[in-house]
Structure 1
Amino acid sequence: MMRRFRKPKLIPLLEQKPPTLPQLSPIPNPSLPKPPQHPSPPPSPIVTLSHTSNHTHTHLLTFIKTHIKNPPLSPKTLLHFLKSKLHHHPTFTHFDFHVFNWASSVDSFRHDHSTFEWMVCTLATTDRFAELGHLIGFMVSNPCPCSDGIFSCPRTEPIFKFAISAYCRVGRLGDAVGAFDSMRKLIDGKPSVVVYNIVINGFVKCGAHDKALGFYEKMVRDRVKADVFTFNILISGYCRNSQFGLALELFKEMREKGCSPNVVSFNTLIKGFFRERKVEDGIEMAYEMIEFGCKFSSVTCEILVDGLCREGRVEVACELLIDFSRKGVLPRLYDYYGLVEVLCGERNSGRALEVVDELWRTGNVPSLIACTTLVEGLRRSARIDEALEVMERMLEEGMVPDFVTFNCLLQDLCNLGRTDEADNLRLLSSSKGLELDGMAYTILVSGYSREGKKKEVKVVVDEMLDMGFIPDLATYNRLVDG
């Protein structure tokens, strides 16, 4: 059946030829409270416009006449004017919807999906939701010319999807559902699962889980097949509402319906298990993930390690990460700094070193902050040899340590009478791009002086002089003399 097009009710023009601008409403004041979530429908498809000052009206009319010179007006001409001229004007940019309405009143002009899409995106992005509601009502009454044939315009659903997403973003769920219902009247067939997911997610984020389930049931009645994102949203909603048992049931239903879970599905349930203090079940779910062939994410490891550490089961977390690394499923970008920090905080830097060494050997290189934390932990435990090995390995990997950690390790070596090793570390760090400060050289001078190595002292002091760390001759002589 051919679709009937109802010509919008025209607003009287100020002038007949060329088309001119009607009286415009003032700029909305952002400091004023927003209109209610369910605004009353407009009296006509075109928003009734109030008057502005004659000065503003005259200048805007002149601006339009300057850039729209050749009637008849077309959607392409109007869109170019809105995007390229009006949008960038510092004074008139907020009159875009008024100009849009004015164009609707021009005889022989008809908006199409291009002008609808631009206007919807602009109003939604700038949070002008009252105007957006009026525009949606106008689109329902005056659909795109592409819908005049047998099929509806293919751009209708994407346009409404943007508006629905904007409504859900700010919690205007009643308006979102209203826009969804309006969209269904205009499109051919059923809405896509993506649009349903947007509304369901909006309800879950606002804490209206029951309404999210109701909309999901509506989706099932409409015979739209749920995807993994639908189930993930609802599983998350159950977990947020402390209904973990129902989340597990939905997870089973998801798999029974042939929808494969992804990493987000597993992460949500693992986190739920730890929230319920069911640690073993959470670990079992992680291994089920491996069997299913779903790759771990850094978030998966963070949930497991953080949860185990909070339960005081740090050793289990260590064994778990080592096992994951040996199986080749530990994400390369996962930063196990948190576990190293917990171990070092418990004065168990030896175990931290074992874990880091094991993961490092299997290709999971620690982050700079993890290595720095480990060096500090080893220093506090008086394990200077291990700290030196970690520092040298860091430098070989191209990790540049901070001055404080580096200088503290130099001081430890010098205090033990191992200034030569400290100096070798200084040379290695310089070759790897670490620009030493004056404190590092002063530590070495002091160390060599205590060991009575005057020749080495002079070499270091001369280098300090070349680096500009010695301000005068008196300082130079004092350093040389130790």
Structure 2
Amino acid sequence: MLPVPLKRIAKCKGNHLQPSSLLKPSLSSPSEDHSLAQLSQLLKLHLKPTFSPKDLLSFLKKKLYHHPTLNCFDLHVFHWASGHEWFTHDHSTYEWTVKNLARTDRFMEIPQILDCMLAHPCPCSQGIFSCPHVETIFTFAINTFCKLHRLDEAMVLFSNMRKAIDGRPSVVVYNMLLSCMAKCRRHESAIEFYASMLRDKVKPDIFTFNILVSSYCRNSQFDSAIKLFKEMRTKGCVPNVVTFNTLIQGLFRDRKMKEGIGIAYEMVELGCGFTVVSLEILLGGLCREGMVMDACEILHEFSSKKGVLPQGYDCLCIVNALCLQKNVEKGMAIVGDLWSKGHAPSAVVCITLLEELRKLGKLDVACTLMERMFNEGILPDIITFNCLLQCLCDVGRASNANRLKILGSRKGMKVDASTLHILVRGFSHEGRGREGLLVLDEMLDKGFISDLAVYNRLQDGINKFFPCREQEGKFKRPLVEASSNI
């Protein structure tokens, strides 16, 4: 944020800072004196007598704006230029000044510039007609105050703009103010403003209706929201996905589940395509209310209709809800059905299913799912992967665990030291020293063994469960050899 000007300047022409006063500032500190002296020199160098608005704009944009210490004097220069009898600002200097004030968070100064613009119109104004750029400048200023939720100031600017421009304001400006009213929880004001918009014969668009529908839903006035929803089509405005999403979300928030589902089916009938957000609102809302099977039925129905189910939807909310109910079989069936129709699940969905299968001891199903994930290019996180391998080793299935490790490595899975530790211990407990030593060698090759003591401890673990004759040298590598490889 740029610092505010050091000295306040008069607001309107007739009491401007005179050109000579920049050279002789009164009642200012030495640092201010120095800055203003610098500014005066800069003005003399770059703005010759009888400079034009184009020259001033070039100076403000290319010289002053990038100056490290004098950039805060832009408003001084604006008013200084106004002090010349032969100079008149045009829409370009007004617009740049307003935007720069907004960019540097000097919002209180913006109405002053707009007042000056109204008092001293742009030279391109012709007779009784205003400059066509006035509405654009006011629209920017109104939008700035709306974003700050300073509704009262935005309304004052809107009132001034209506008096200044030719014709009616654009629907865009009305939408800005309606949205600000809705966000500020001033619902009644929004309804009154919409009525005044209709009286002004400004045709509402889809954004207008979406703002009002959302405001009605926030205030639990669902009958009015539905009425407005039906009114849209009579005014030649087709509801879009945002309209439907807003209605469904509002109805679900008020626990009107049946009505929300009805809106969703109407959405399909009208050919308004579902988005991922739409399904998250619909199916996620049903799951949160414990209507998981209803959500499953709707998902199946939508997936059976071509073009209804959007790409990228992965049914995570339904899978989570089913896993919480310990109904992992239904979750697997839903994911399998979607997968067969080209809707591949995300890694998060697969991991959720793997965790539940592992907890329930359904290791065969978990291995099948993991293999399919690898073949489809879906990689689990290393923790989930290692947990499944540990469960397999715990029940004496180290070979299955090792097969998954090999498949995963081929498909891009980055195994870590824990993965190989699990396999070494698994083979050791099963008395399969040869396989255990092969994995131990892999640990050495990958640099996962930090010192000789760790290596010996793992090797002793293998021999503990598979006692071998050291003189045959089948399963125990010499320590000297191991040391040379570390």
Mean Cα deviation higher: 323-332 or 468-477? 468-477
- The one of 461, 473, 476 equivalent to 2:440 is 461
Equivalent residue letter for 1:228:
I
Equivalent residue letter for 1:375:
L
Deviation of 1:324 (Å): 1.7
1:148 equivalent in structure 2? 126
- The one of 404, 407, 421 equivalent to 1:425 is 404
Asked whether the 8 Å contact 1:24–1:52 carries over to 2, the reply is no
Structure 2 distance, partners of 1:145, 1:385, is: 82
Deviation of 1:395 (Å): 2.0
Asked whether the 8 Å contact 1:14–1:22 carries over to 2, the reply is no
Asked whether the 8 Å contact 1:11–1:105 carries over to 2, the reply is yes
Question: How has the CA–CA distance of structure 1 residues 475 and 100 changed in structure 2, closer, same or farther, with 3 Å as cutoff?
Answer: same
Asked whether the 8 Å contact 2:217–2:251 carries over to 1, the reply is no
Equivalent residue letter for 1:81:
F
2:20 is paired with a residue of what secondary structure?
coil
Q: Is 1:370 matched with 2:359?
A: no
Structure 1 distance, partners of 2:39, 2:119, is: 28
2:427 equivalent in structure 1? 448
1:277 equivalent in structure 2? 255
Asked whether the 8 Å contact 2:319–2:331 carries over to 1, the reply is yes
Structure 2 distance, partners of 1:314, 1:292, is: 26
TM-score (norm 1): 0.87
1:53 is paired with a residue of what secondary structure?
helix
Equivalent residue letter for 1:274:
F
Asked whether the 8 Å contact 2:23–2:37 carries over to 1, the reply is no
Deviation of 1:374 (Å): 1.2
Deviation of 1:468 (Å): 0.5
Q: Is 1:65 matched with 2:44?
A: yes
Mean Cα deviation higher: 202-211 or 467-476? 467-476
Question: How has the CA–CA distance of structure 1 residues 23 and 235 changed in structure 2, closer, same or farther, with 3 Å as cutoff?
Answer: farther
Mean Cα deviation higher: 71-80 or 246-255? 71-80
Equivalent residue letter for 1:130:
M
Q: Is 1:102 matched with 2:107?
A: no
Deviation of 1:442 (Å): 0.9
Structure 2 distance, partners of 1:151, 1:364, is: 59
Deviation of 1:149 (Å): 5.2
Asked whether the 8 Å contact 1:13–1:21 carries over to 2, the reply is no
Structure 2 distance, partners of 1:317, 1:244, is: 23
1:295 equivalent in structure 2? 273
Asked whether the 8 Å contact 1:140–1:186 carries over to 2, the reply is yes
**Residue identity (%):** 52
Deviation of 1:266 (Å): 0.7
> Which deviations, in whole Å up to 9, do the C-alpha atoms of 1:265-314 show, x marking residues without a partner?
11111112212322111111101101111111222111112221222111
Equivalent residue letter for 2:121:
P
Structure 2 distance, partners of 1:248, 1:96, is: 51
> Which deviations, in whole Å up to 9, do the C-alpha atoms of 1:351-388 show, x marking residues without a partner?
11111111222222222212111110111111111211
Larger radius of gyration: 2
Q: Is 1:9 matched with 2:14?
A: yes
Asked whether the 8 Å contact 1:22–1:102 carries over to 2, the reply is no
Structure 1 distance, partners of 2:318, 2:419, is: 30
Higher RCO structure, 1 or 2 (CA under 8 Å, sep 6+)? 1
Structure 2 distance, partners of 1:73, 1:21, is: 19
Deviation of 1:78 (Å): 1.7
1:217 equivalent in structure 2? 195
Structure 1 distance, partners of 2:149, 2:401, is: 61
Structure 2 distance, partners of 1:24, 1:307, is: 67
Question: How has the CA–CA distance of structure 1 residues 203 and 454 changed in structure 2, closer, same or farther, with 3 Å as cutoff?
Answer: same
Deviation of 1:433 (Å): 2.0
Equivalent residue letter for 1:417:
G
Equivalent residue letter for 1:124:
A
Asked whether the 8 Å contact 1:308–1:317 carries over to 2, the reply is yes
- The one of 167, 171, 180 equivalent to 2:145 is 167
1:329 is paired with a residue of what secondary structure?
coil
Equivalent residue letter for 2:259:
D
Question: How has the CA–CA distance of structure 1 residues 241 and 11 changed in structure 2, closer, same or farther, with 3 Å as cutoff?
Answer: same
Question: How has the CA–CA distance of structure 1 residues 324 and 112 changed in structure 2, closer, same or farther, with 3 Å as cutoff?
Answer: same
Asked whether the 8 Å contact 1:10–1:104 carries over to 2, the reply is no
2:370 equivalent in structure 1? 391
Uncovered stretches (5+) of structure 2, i.e. residues with no partner:
1-11, 463-486
Question: How has the CA–CA distance of structure 1 residues 258 and 52 changed in structure 2, closer, same or farther, with 3 Å as cutoff?
Answer: farther
1:204 equivalent in structure 2? 182
Structure 2 distance, partners of 1:397, 1:9, is: 76
Structure 1 distance, partners of 2:213, 2:92, is: 38
1:84 is paired with a residue of what secondary structure?
helix
2:342 is paired with a residue of what secondary structure?
coil
> What count of residue pairs does the alignment treat as equivalent?
449
> Which deviations, in whole Å up to 9, do the C-alpha atoms of 1:178-214 show, x marking residues without a partner?
2112222332222111111111111111111111111
Asked whether the 8 Å contact 2:17–2:79 carries over to 1, the reply is no
Mean Cα deviation higher: 449-458 or 311-320? 449-458
2:317 is paired with a residue of what secondary structure?
helix
Question: How has the CA–CA distance of structure 1 residues 225 and 173 changed in structure 2, closer, same or farther, with 3 Å as cutoff?
Answer: same
Equivalent residue letter for 1:197:
N
2:6 equivalent in structure 1? none
Equivalent residue letter for 1:131:
E
Q: Is 1:135 matched with 2:140?
A: no
Equivalent residue letter for 1:441:
L
Deviation of 1:90 (Å): 3.0
Structure 2 distance, partners of 1:318, 1:359, is: 12
Mean Cα deviation higher: 181-190 or 154-163? 181-190
TM-score (norm 2): 0.87
Asked whether the 8 Å contact 1:13–1:22 carries over to 2, the reply is no
> Which deviations, in whole Å up to 9, do the C-alpha atoms of 1:440-468 show, x marking residues without a partner?
00111111122222221222111111101
Asked whether the 8 Å contact 1:235–1:247 carries over to 2, the reply is yes
Q: Is 1:333 matched with 2:312?
A: yes
Question: How has the CA–CA distance of structure 1 residues 23 and 253 changed in structure 2, closer, same or farther, with 3 Å as cutoff?
Answer: farther
Question: How has the CA–CA distance of structure 1 residues 373 and 25 changed in structure 2, closer, same or farther, with 3 Å as cutoff?
Answer: farther
